[in-house]
Amino acid sequence: MTQSTSSTATRAPFQRLALVIGAVYLLVGIAGFFVTGFDGFAEHDHDQTLLGFAINPLHNIVHLLIGILGLTMWSTPGRARTFGWLLVVGYGAAFVYGLFAVNNPDINILNINMADNWLHILSVAAGLAIALWPRKHVDAPGGAQRQH
């Protein structure tokens, strides 16, 4: 019996994690527009929150882009791992930016609050999980799997 490599049953756990993260960020980006509308594109207004996270339309667009990336890059192991590294670098930079921006409305164009900073660290950890998840290889003779 042969196994199809295009089946979702053969997807690695880190690929599914990339898919879930992409879907969540896409949904959060869409839901954000129900809170912010399209006015005040890059305003700093901590009164506009979604589940405690400060947002504005620009922030919503960033979530949409991350979501779309996750949904398009989960399909192969290499692309999923690249998505993981993009999360690490992008959200690592967003965390550092947020440390300075959270109390400085002049530079806080994404309307970041401390809850966002904690989510950015969580997103970095998820990106590391996707990027560094051990690979399973199938040995040809017995079909036994081993991890690297």
**Dist CA 18 CA 73 (whole Å):** 8
Please report, for the chain, the start and end positions of each structural domain, with discontinuous segments joined by +: 12-38+49-134
Taking only the tens of pLDDT, the chain with its 148 residues reads 444 444 556 899 999 999 999 999 999 999 999 999 998 888 887 788 899 899 999 999 999 999 999 999 999 999 999 999 999 999 999 999 999 999 899 999 999 999 999 999 999 999 999 999 997 754 445 555 555 5
Exposed / middle / buried, residue 109 (Cβ in 10 Å: 0-12, 13-18, 19+): middle
